[in-house]
Structure 1
Amino acid sequence: MTRTLLLNSGPHGQASHGYQLAAEMLAELGLSQQQLVERDLLASPIPPIGRDYVLAVTSGASAEAPALAWSETLISELEASELLLIVTPMHNFAIPATLKLWLDHVIRIHRSFESTPEGKIGLIKDRPTLVLVSSGGFHTGPRARQEDFLTPYLRYALASIGIRNVHFVLLQGLVFGPDAVATAVDAARDVLRAQLEPFKRQAQGALTAAR
């Protein structure tokens, strides 16, 4: 069965359309409690990067240094996962501060990447990553009226640590009433279900083998 890390970075928490859809899809996989690590980045805030963290990183402190404890925890959770699912709103054209803070702790030199003359080389094993993006308006398609800095930034940031198998699933136009929400959720469900189908087949195969 697939070990999954679910990051929820929006202010609505478990009440958000994105989270509820993600939970619905993960329930179809039949994950046990041990196979799912869920981190609500707003309900359980990550501390901001401070001077102690910077000094530990720049001085080459060991991974056991207290200032790196949060970073180690978050990187270890990521390394232990086979599937990464990120639920995020689009805030002011980009990712919210909660998700940026997770990235700040996870993107760490000599731990999740190495710096070379050619640029950053990721040290984290690639894994399927699904990003469920909720937005009140539209940022792609014919109704788009705003720029999208979230997608290219998050794709680039994750690639810098080695995660390149990233797929974005969009929930757009959520401020245009219940019908618009239902349409967006249904479309996103179809895309998400298709992306998760290989994991569902894997889970079904494991159950069959266990009988």
Structure 2
Amino acid sequence: MKRILLLNCGPHSDASHGYRLAREVLAATGIGPVSITERDLVQSPLPSIGRDYAIALTSGAAHEVPEFACSEQLIVELEQHAMLFIVTPMHNFTVPATLKLWLDHVIRINRSFEATPQGKVGSIHDRPTFVLVSSGGFFAGERARQADFLTPYLRYALASIGISDVHFFPLQGLVFGPEAVAQAVHAAGQQLSEKLHAQLSFNLANQPVMTA
């Protein structure tokens, strides 16, 4: 059974266009038995990074100490899923605070990455990651009128722990009325479906052949 982790990072929770689109595309793939773990980072907020965590981190404390409990839970949860979906708005040109806090818990030295003279080397196995980015305005394409710091930041942050198979799908122009929303959802849905099918076909084609 394929296990998928779905992070929902925006204030609209299960009413967001990105969340509903992700669920619709996953339901329509026909990929067989799947188990989807949903984590709504607004409805169930994560604890902030406090002084106790910082002291444990800089003192090289064991993974099992209470200060790392939330961080460890999130890292293990990520490790246990073969695919990651992130549904997020763009807030002030970059990731919202909810997603940034998840990253702060998951990106942990000597656990999800190792520090080397060449920089961070990720300890998490790579997995297909699909990011649906909602925006009232336009940040990609010919109509872009604002900077996009979300895409390069999130790509770099995930790569630092070992996840580089990351694909972004813009849901933009959402404040320009129902027709614009419908166009954005349709375009993103097509792109996401095509990429997901291609990814699943690649995985099936490269599965090891079982011999007697």
What TM-score, normalized to structure 2? 0.91
Deviation at 1:125, TM superposition (A): 0.5
Q: Deviations over 1:40-66 (max 9, x none)?
A: 000000001001111111111111101
Secondary structure, counterpart of 2:133 in structure 1: strand
- More off after superposition, 27-36 vs 53-62: 27-36
Deviation at 1:15, TM superposition (A): 0.4
Structure 2 match to 1:28? 28
Q: Is the 8 A contact 1:158 1:164 kept in 2?
A: yes
Structure 2 match to 1:100? 100
Residue 69, structure 1, aligned to residue 69, structure 2:
yes
State the AA in 2 paired with 1:95: V
User: Which has the larger share of helix?
Assistant: 1
Structure 2 match to 1:138? 138
Q: Is the 8 A contact 2:136 2:174 kept in 1?
A: yes
Q: How does 1:1-211 map to 2 (within 5 A)?
A: 1-29=1-29, 35-198=35-198
Partners of 1:58 and 1:187 in 2: how far apart? 46
What TM-score, normalized to structure 1? 0.92
Deviation at 1:33, TM superposition (A): 9.2
Q: Is the 8 A contact 2:2 2:33 kept in 1?
A: no
Q: CA RMSD in A?
A: 1.7
Deviant stretches of 4+, over 3 Å: 29-34, 198-203
**Structure 1 stretches lacking a partner, 5+ long:** 204-211
State the AA in 2 paired with 1:13: S
Partners of 1:116 and 1:184 in 2: how far apart? 42
Deviation at 1:200, TM superposition (A): 5.7
Secondary structure, counterpart of 1:127 in structure 2: coil
Partners of 2:117 and 2:166 in 1: how far apart? 25
Q: Is the 8 A contact 2:140 2:170 kept in 1?
A: no
Q: Describe the shift of the 1:113–1:34 C-alpha distance in structure 2 as closer, same or farther (beyond 3 A).
A: same
Number of equivalences: 203
Deviation at 1:117, TM superposition (A): 0.8
Identity %: 66
Q: Describe the shift of the 1:30–1:54 C-alpha distance in structure 2 as closer, same or farther (beyond 3 A).
A: farther
Q: Is the 8 A contact 1:18 1:88 kept in 2?
A: yes
Deviation at 1:28, TM superposition (A): 2.2
Q: Describe the shift of the 1:162–1:91 C-alpha distance in structure 2 as closer, same or farther (beyond 3 A).
A: same
Secondary structure, counterpart of 1:88 in structure 2: strand
**Structure 2 stretches lacking a partner, 5+ long:** 205-212
Q: Is the 8 A contact 1:120 1:161 kept in 2?
A: yes
Q: Describe the shift of the 1:22–1:105 C-alpha distance in structure 2 as closer, same or farther (beyond 3 A).
A: same
Partners of 2:99 and 2:33 in 1: how far apart? 23
Secondary structure, counterpart of 1:26 in structure 2: helix
Q: Describe the shift of the 1:26–1:34 C-alpha distance in structure 2 as closer, same or farther (beyond 3 A).
A: closer
Q: Is the 8 A contact 1:8 1:19 kept in 2?
A: yes
